[in-house]
Structures are given as C-alpha cells and as structure tokens.
Structure 1
Amino acid sequence: MAGNMSKGIMSNCITDFQALKEFNIVSHAGPAPKIQEVIWSFPPNGWIKANTDGAARGSPGYASAGGIFRDSSGGIKGCFSLYLGIQSSLFAEAIAAMHAIEIAHQNHWHNFWLECDSKLVVDAFNNHHIIPWKLRNRWYNCIYFCSLMNFRISHIFREGNCCADKLANFSLTSREDHWWDKVLLAPGH
C-alpha cells in the first residue's frame, strides 16, 4: 500500500520493475538518461588545436599534465607529458593549458584553439582568480600570448579528450617529462 502512495522514483531496472509488478505496486519510472554525443572536431584550415588534460591521484596527490597538438587534417604536430610532483587537480589542469599556450607561442602558431575537459580552466579565462596564486604570473603571461594570436578556448567532455588523458597519465607512471614530435602507430592502425 505504501508503495502505491509513494512519489519516489525507482531506478529504470527491469528486475525492479518486475518485482514491483508482482506486488501490484504502481511504479514511477525515472526520466530516461540524457545521451549526448561527444565527438572531437578538427580545427579549421590554418589552425592548430591542442587538447590538454591534467591528472592527479588525490588532491593533492601525484599529478601530471598532457597535451596533443593537431592540424586541420588531424595530423599530429607534437605531444607532451609532464610530471608535476604533489599538486592539486586544478594545478595540473592549469599547467596543461598554460604549457600548450606557451608551445603555441614558441612555434608561432597564430591561429590556436585550446580544448580541455576542465570547465574550471575554461572559466578561468574570464575569471583569473580561479587560478592558484602560485601560477598567476605564468597565467598572466599566457593570457598575453593569447592576445597576440587568434585564440579560441572550448570545453570538451572527457570522453572526447582521451588522447590528452592518456598523455597526462603517462607521466604519472613514468614520473618524467616527455615531448614527442611524431607518433608512430602500431601496424594495422
């Protein structure tokens, strides 16, 4: 009786539905999950796109950052993976973004698109106080570099940022910094 009066929502599981039906309890199915397609997009012609990610095992904990640079055909211009020691996850995400901007500036990539899965880092471009104080000078330098180029920042869900995620996690294991100019794929890939 109490089940029929309940306004609670059940999980959308067939076994729960069958059990409730056996007891003649009216079920209130929850809303269907929202499915959103996550696809990495190529940058426009003449642009370089960097996807970055930070990783931390604990916050603070061992942390690292990674990023990958691609041109408009999807060709890889380079990749990095940095070991950061004991840091917070926001520190790692911010370092990844700043390192990518610095590389873009050094390489004179004047049309640069930065994409990361940290909404907080994306928001930091409008509110610099989000960035930890010990990174602020470097952050302001990067903001200046961005003003010298056609710069775009966007958020991507982590499902679309798996290459940067793998690069960040690589330095968590190796505890070393790495740069790759090209990526060699295994035969058949």
Structure 2
Amino acid sequence: MILKRLNISIHPPLPPVIKEVIWHPPLENWVKCNTDGAANNLTSSCGGIFRNHNADFLCGFAENTGLKSAFMAELCGAMRAIELAHNRNWTNLWLESDSSLVVQAFSAASLVPWELSNKWLNCTRMTRNMNFVVSHVYREGNQCADKLANIGLGLDSFTFWTELPPQISSSFVDNRLGKPSFRFVYM
C-alpha cells in the first residue's frame, strides 16, 4: 500500500518452475556412471556409481583427492570413472555429472587446471576407444554419487565397492524405481 501511494510500481518475482528430476538407466549393453565431487575446508573427494541398463549396481568408488578445489574433485571423479571403465573393458560408457563445468571440459580442455592436464589427456584418449557420452544432470538426480563423494571426505585411500554400500541404498532404490525428485528453478 505504501509503495502504491508513492507511485512506485511493484514487480513481484516470477514463481519458480518446478522440474521433475528422474535418474535414467542407460541403453542395453551400456554402462552409466554418475560421478560427483565434494569439498570442505580441509580436503576434497570424489565418488561414483556404475549401473547397467537394468539399473543394477555394478560397482562404486570414493576417494579423498586431497585437493582444495571442488571443481578439481569433480574432474578427478570423472577421470577415475573413465579409468575404471577402461580397466573393466566397458566400451559403452555414459558419464553423468551434476557439474556443468565437467561436462564442458570434455569439449574445452582449457577448463582443466594444469595440475590435472596430463591425467585428463590420458583419460580423454581412453574415451576415443569407447562409445562415450557425457551429460549433465541436476544434483537431485545424482544423489548416489553425491553420497559416495561425501563418504570420500573421511577416507584415507581409494575405496572400491562391488556390493552396494548401505549408505546409498535408499537413494539407489529410489533411482531404480524411477522415483522423481523435484527442483525449483527461478527464471
């Protein structure tokens, strides 16, 4: 009322758009790996989860990277995923990250910090011998990898799981069932 009396026009903000976010399994004969990074004041880490077209758990990993940058931890997660897929002879790999910068780095290597550039180059060479796709997902669709990356903050060494870690079982089941999460996007 006061603003109207002072002849000040009111422009209320637009309401948020609610986006449904669902984790999608890969095509048959493909392996999908969701990766993530985490950082706090002391250290950083990465984690990832590999699943097949039936959304079955294939393996997962977490690692304390010891780096200070969250972006570098995200890159380390992507590189570790490529190395693991290469070592397991998985030639159809879909890498999914909630970091749009990581996705962009695959087409603009100049985004990669020099400390990681040699390892990054080796990993991108590995992808040339694969059917390789990289995509972005909102963090609401990346909850399993997020939890693994957070586990990595407390680790002393690389940890590899061949059975589903109990810490991610509820998010894993939600993904497998196609349960949506919701994201509020402000335009």
The answer to whether the 8 Å contact 2:63/2:155 transfers is no
The answer to whether the 8 Å contact 2:57/2:163 transfers is yes
- Find the counterpart in structure 2 of residue 49 from structure 1: 32
Offset at residue 30 of structure 1 (A): 2.2
User: 2:104 aligned with 1:85, yes or no?
Assistant: no
SS in 2 for 1:164: helix
Offset at residue 32 of structure 1 (A): 1.3
User: 2:138 aligned with 1:157, yes or no?
Assistant: yes
Question: Against the structure 1 CA distance between its residues 138 and 155, is the aligned structure 2 distance closer, same or farther, given a 3 Å change threshold?
Answer: same
Question: Against the structure 1 CA distance between its residues 154 and 175, is the aligned structure 2 distance closer, same or farther, given a 3 Å change threshold?
Answer: same
* Residue of structure 1 aligned with 2:14, choices 19, 31, 39: 31
* Residue of structure 2 aligned with 1:120, choices 86, 89, 101: 101
1-side partners of 2:113 and 2:59: how far apart?
27
Question: Against the structure 1 CA distance between its residues 185 and 36, is the aligned structure 2 distance closer, same or farther, given a 3 Å change threshold?
Answer: same
Count how many residue pairs are aligned between Structure 1 and Structure 2.
168
2-side partners of 1:123 and 1:114: how far apart?
13
Q: Percent identity?
A: 42
Partner amino acid for 1:84?
T
2-side partners of 1:118 and 1:185: how far apart?
25
Partner amino acid for 1:34?
V
Offset at residue 177 of structure 1 (A): 2.2
Offset at residue 185 of structure 1 (A): 5.4
- Find the counterpart in structure 2 of residue 140 from structure 1: 121
Offset at residue 87 of structure 1 (A): 2.1
Q: Structure 1, residues 33-71: CA drift from partner, whole Å, max 9, x if none?
A: 11111111010000000000000114xx41000000000
Misfit runs of 4+, over 4 Å: 184-189
1-side partners of 2:165 and 2:46: how far apart?
21
SS in 2 for 1:101: helix
Task: Give the number of the structure with larger relative contact order, counting CA–CA contacts within 8 Å between residues 6 or more apart.
Answer: 2
Partner amino acid for 2:3?
G
TM-score of the aligned structures, taking structure 1 as reference length: 0.83
Q: Structure 1, residues 6-43: CA drift from partner, whole Å, max 9, x if none?
A: 2344xxxxxxxxxxxxxxxxxxx321111111111010
- Find the counterpart in structure 1 of residue 164 from structure 2: 183
Offset at residue 184 of structure 1 (A): 5.9
Unaligned ranges ≥5, structure 2: 174-187
The answer to whether the 8 Å contact 2:79/2:120 transfers is yes
